[in-house]
Amino acid sequence: MAADMCAGRVVVVTGAGRGLGRAHALAFAAEGAKVVVNDLGVGLDGTPGSDSPARNVVEEIRAAGGEAVAHGGDIATAKGAASLVEAALDTFGRLDTLVNNAGFLRDRMLVNLDEDDWDAVLRVHLKGHFLPLREAAAYWRTESKAGRRPVARIVNTTSGAGLLGSVGQGNYAAAKAGIVGLTLVAAAELARYGVQVNAVAPAARTRMTERAFADLAAAPEDVAPLVVWLGSAASDGVTGRVFEAEAGRITVMEGWRPGPTADKGDRRTPAEAGDTARDLLARAQAPGAVYGAG
């Protein structure tokens, strides 16, 4: 029997055919949401696959008594992102929550990273967040201006790689760091329309992480509860935040903020700037270790 945290809500989850996205879609459905399950069905590196994982997840949801529809469009294109929102409106008549999750990896050390691999990863992760976000936001802005203020939620997917860096993943780390910046801007711009925007950095064993982090035992299902809560009306007042979630651990990540400062009141020489910088660094907190740099 479904719980009711998301009863009546319509939720879109991108990249929901496998791994984290699948866990999110099933968890939202278990809480009473109607779910649009998006997945392009590509391989780990973004090359075309032969199956339709989105339809499989829809069948799981329906078999459990829920409501869901599959969407196989490319959300990193304007047409695909628009059709994603249209799928929710045409099938269920509304949209309440967008979970941006789609992505793939093309890991290389920077000196071996091809331009195509850079572009492909930035496209699916960063552009694939921006375009669905923009389409959903336009719908909610229209609703708000019509006097139907939404209780809307966007949950973006960043990564520890975007927060701390990850050796061999320069393209992925840059995209995931960009998603944090996008989250902060969207939270500030969309609040007037009743939209809350947050990001989650998940740590879970999926096909994207099993090679890089073979010892990672946390399951995607461990991350989904936080995503469901952030995507529900129960998270009222929480926006512009980044959370890390792994197994039973949830951490509020605290980003860039001013640390030690020195103001001479006049221009420094390069030598003076260097002396000042070293003095400030001696009083500053050390950065977190880059993944894989040990």
Q: What is the CA radius of gyration of the chain?
A: 20
Average pLDDT, stretch 199-215?
63
User: Is 273 part of any domain?
Assistant: no
pLDDT band (50, 70, 90) for residue 41:
confident
Task: Provide the 3-class DSSP secondary structure of residue 46.
Answer: coil
Which listed residue (34, 83, 159, 193) is catalytic?
Answer: 159
Which listed residue (172, 193, 232, 291) is catalytic?
Answer: 172
The CATH number assigned to the domain holding 200 equals 3.40.50.720
Nearest residue to 41 via CA among 62, 71, 63: 71
Q: How many angstroms separate the CA atoms of 273 and 277, rounded?
A: 6
Q: For position 47, what pLDDT does the model report?
A: 58
User: Is 184 part of any domain?
Assistant: yes
pLDDT tens-place string over residues 135-163: 999 999 999 999 999 999 999 999 999 99
Average pLDDT, stretch 90-110?
96
Structure-token match 């469009």, residue found? 73
pLDDT band (50, 70, 90) for residue 216:
low
User: Is 110 part of any domain?
Assistant: yes
pLDDT tens-place string over residues 270-282: 999 999 999 999 9
pLDDT band (50, 70, 90) for residue 60:
very high
Indicate the pTM of the whole model.
0.91
Partnered with residue 71 across adjacent β-strands are 38
Average pLDDT, stretch 231-251?
96
- The answer to whether residue 34 is catalytic is no
* Domain count within the chain: 1
Q: Which residues contact 269 (CB under 8 A, 6 or more apart)?
A: none
Q: For position 228, what pLDDT does the model report?
A: 98
Strands (E), the chain: 10-13, 34-38, 68-71, 97-99, 152-157, 195-203, 242-246, 249-253
User: Is 208 part of any domain?
Assistant: yes
Which listed residue (83, 176, 232, 235) is catalytic?
Answer: 176
Q: For position 43, what pLDDT does the model report?
A: 56
User: Is 289 part of any domain?
Assistant: no
What residue type is 40 in one-letter code?
A: L
Q: How many angstroms separate the CA atoms of 35 and 2, rounded?
A: 13
Is residue 253 exposed (0-12), middle (13-18) or buried (19+ Cβ within 10 Å)? Answer: middle
Q: For position 247, what pLDDT does the model report?
A: 86
For residue 124 the two structure tokens come to 């699916």
- The answer to whether residue 159 is catalytic is yes
User: Is 45 part of any domain?
Assistant: yes
Q: Which residue has the higher pLDDT, 29 or 1?
A: 29
Task: Provide the 3-class DSSP secondary structure of residue 68.
Answer: strand
* Contact predicate 124/46, CB 8 Å: yes
Q: How many angstroms separate the CA atoms of 103 and 269, rounded?
A: 46
Is residue 63 exposed (0-12), middle (13-18) or buried (19+ Cβ within 10 Å)? Answer: exposed
| pLDDT at 183 exceeding the cut of 80 | yes
User: Is 73 part of any domain?
Assistant: yes
User: Is 1 part of any domain?
Assistant: no
Q: Is the dihedral of CA 61, 65, 69, 75 positive or negative?
A: negative
By residue range, what is the domain housing residue 180?
Answer: 10-253
* Contact predicate 107/120, CB 8 Å: no
Give me the chain's average pLDDT, please.
Answer: 92
- The answer to whether residue 52 is catalytic is no
Q: For position 52, what pLDDT does the model report?
A: 77
Nearest residue to 53 via CA among 15, 95, 81: 15
| pLDDT at 49 exceeding the cut of 70 | no
Q: For position 205, what pLDDT does the model report?
A: 55
Q: How many angstroms separate the CA atoms of 212 and 224, rounded?
A: 21
Task: Provide the 3-class DSSP secondary structure of residue 152.
Answer: strand
